[in-house]
């Protein structure tokens, strides 16, 4: 059965271009809609939540920086309409699963660093996404950068 709506999770680094390119190829092949999402982890999650500091200003700056990076990325890929661009704050697995269900996506495409050893086969986000995913998940292996 062909895919009809592909959701691509991007970290907006240079490495994410290969993930997007793979998702775009699949969308073109199947004639599927292609959406992108960038998830910002709350600072309290990133630092374990035990730091007695007000991180709201840093979180706001991180959100604004991510918005600018997303804007620059989309400027290079005008085929992604505004309704196909998503950005949210939270646990990446939960947010990607939520959006995939809301948007009726049937494939999620993410990047994976392909660490050595069975336990590190997938990066933490890619591995988390496989658990309880509402649809198929494709992990695109990212090339090492020197």
Q: In angstroms, how far is the first alpha carbon of the chain from the final one? A: 39
Nearest-angstrom CA–CA distance, 38 and 8 = 9
8 closest CA partner among 94, 28, 22: 22
More confident residue, 139 or 57: 139
Where are the domains positioned within the chain? Answer: 5-141
96 touches 124 (CB < 8 A): no
Instruction: Provide the 8-state DSSP code for 35.
Output: E
pLDDT tens, position by position, 2-47: 899 999 999 898 888 999 999 999 999 999 999 999 999 887 644 5
5 touches 121 (CB < 8 A): no
* Look-up of token digits 């199947």: 30
* pLDDT confidence band for 53 (50 / 70 / 90): low
Task: Report the range out of 88-92, 96-100, 129-133 with the highest average pLDDT.
Answer: 96-100
27 touches 8 (CB < 8 A): no
List the structure tokens of 128.
Answer: 């988390």
Nearest-angstrom CA–CA distance, 56 and 44 = 10
Mean pLDDT score, 117-142: 69
Total-model pTM = 0.81
**3-state helix, strand and coil shares in percent for the chain, rounded to the nearest 5:** 45, 20, 35
Query: In angstroms, what is the C-alpha Rg of the chain?
Result: 15
CATH number of 5-141: 3.40.50.620
Q: Give residues with Cβ within 8 angstroms of 1, minimum separation 6.
A: none
* pLDDT of amino acid 146: 46
């Amino acid at each position: 059965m062909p895919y009809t709506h592909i959701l691509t999770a991007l970290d907006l680094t240079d490495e994410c271009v290969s993930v997007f390119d793979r998702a775009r190829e699949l969308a073109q092949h199947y004639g599927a809609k292609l959406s992108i999402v960038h998830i910002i982890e709350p600072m309290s999650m990133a630092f374990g939540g035990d730091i007695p500091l007000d991180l709201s200003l840093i979180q706001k700056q991180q959100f604004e920086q991510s918005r600018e990076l997303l804007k620059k990325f989309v400027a290079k890929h005008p085929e992604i309409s505004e309704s196909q661009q998503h950005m949210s704050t939270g646990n990446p697995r939960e947010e990607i699963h939520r959006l995939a269900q809301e948007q009726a996506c049937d494939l999620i495409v993410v990047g994976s660093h392909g660490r050595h050893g069975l336990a590190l086969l997938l990066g933490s986000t890619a591995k988390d996404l496989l658990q309880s995913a509402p649809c198929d998940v494709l992990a695109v292996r990212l090339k090492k950068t020197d």
